[in-house]
Amino acid sequence: MPLCPLDFRYGRPEMKVVFDEETRLQRLLDVEAALAQAQAKVGNIKQDHADIIKKTASVRYVKLERVREIDQKINHEITALIRALSEQAGESGKYVHIGATSNDILDTAQALQIKDAVKLIDSDLESLKRTLAKRAKEHRDTIMIGRTHGQYALPITFGLKLGNYALEVHRHQQRLRECSPRVLVGKMSGAVGTGAGFGSKASDIQKEVMAQLGLGVEEGPTQIVARDRYVELMSILANISCSIEKFATEVRNLQRGEIAEVSEPFDESCQVGSSTMAHKRNPVTAENVCGLARIVRGFMQPSYESAILWHERDLTNSSAERFFVPHSFILVDDMLTKLDKLFAGLVVNIEQMQRNLVRAGSVIMAESVIMALVSKGMGRQEAHELIRKCSMECQRECENFRTYLMKNSSVTSLLSEKEIDAAIDPKSYLGNAGHTVDHILKILS
């Protein structure tokens, strides 16, 4: 009976297959095959034996059920794998796993899985980045109210908001690519990392195995690949989850009834928002990814703890990694693809953005008026205090900010009615917003 939600609710098949049990078995077999080929290349075994091992190192011959059967008896999965492979290799089976230790196989196979998973995440980030960039270009000049501390601040454009998101995704992509050479490494250096079991050709064997598999080499092995590499990778995935939740939280806030500036795509022909409130159109995708993002960040603690091992290694990392490595990748992939679809279909209510600007009132243009006064010779601090008092009185008495300005002789002695109107026009106070969007799009192109 399935118990984990990944089995029946979350995750895409493309990522799940990377970490499923049979794929893992094949990756373990791939490493054993590469080891045999490397042993043959340096002259430790005959090429014919290496070729037979390579041919039989496949889930077509080494069945998962047989490996499980042996493992249940001996309680050691890699020895079970070795025995199952040796059975299929016949006389050549005596040359399987020579000189290696379990984590030579386990860590290198896991690096192959992570390599495939990183490729998918990179593709996800690229797609989301392009979607956000496209929507940023579309809304380059769509003016809206900016908010700080949850309060009305100054006018911005929706394109600037989305452009900043696209650039953030771009940085995650850079981080993932930059860390890959440090993370995508394997080892073939035997127990405690000395390579003694491989003899005088130990270094050559390790290099040849990793070259065959397309992985880097752990330059300073113990019995395992150093886990600071995993900490870096998991930190990047957790960082990505922070951005995912940040973007999704903004959608949730802007979809609130009292704001209503954007909304998730909603299929009116069949989609149900609530089992009882038939009018509801909830931001369910945004809420879903916010919840999953917290699970990913929760895996950071065991990933840190798993880097702290006794001497040349112990086994405390193994069980934890079986959870946090596949789960983190599957969930991040799931969230990124959902978020991509969400922003691709995001409904932007430009009219409501304009209404909210009007509702905020011209008092939000206080800084613009301060700058106008400063340009006429008033000191910055004096201008700030003058307009602060005007804005406080205006809001307290629920009166029009323009009216207050026109009644204030300190303002009108420096600014004409036309200049006041220009200062409180939101469209005139967008600064470099449009140019910033253009610059971001150029970076991403």
Active site residues: 149, 274
Q: How far is CA 368 from CA 9, 143, 372, 384, in A?
A: 51, 16, 6, 10
Contact 93, 86 (CB under 8 A): yes
Element (H, E) at 155: strand 151-157
CB atoms within 10 A of CB 148: 8
Alpha carbons 142 and 157: distance in angstroms, whole number: 5
The C-alpha angle 209, 212, 216, rounded to 5 degrees, equals 70
* Cβ within 8 Å of residue 67, ≥6 positions away: 25, 77, 80, 81, 84
What distance in Å separates the CA atoms of residue 439 and residue 418, rounded to the nearest whole number? 33
Residue 440 is encoded by which pair of tokens?
A: 């971001």
Helices assigned H by DSSP within 270-416: 284-298, 300-305, 316-344, 350-360, 366-375, 380-396, 401-407, 409-412
What is d(CA 287, CA 296) in angstroms, rounded to the nearest whole number?
15
Task: Compute the distance between CA of residue 424 and CA of residue 394 in angstroms, rounded to an integer.
Answer: 14
Please state, in angstroms and rounded to a whole number, the distance separating the CA atoms of residues 148 and 166: 21
Q: Assign 118 to helix, strand or coil.
A: helix
Half-sphere exposure of 238 (CA within 13 A, CB side): 18
For the chain, the farthest-separated pair of C-alpha atoms sits apart, in whole angstroms, at: 102
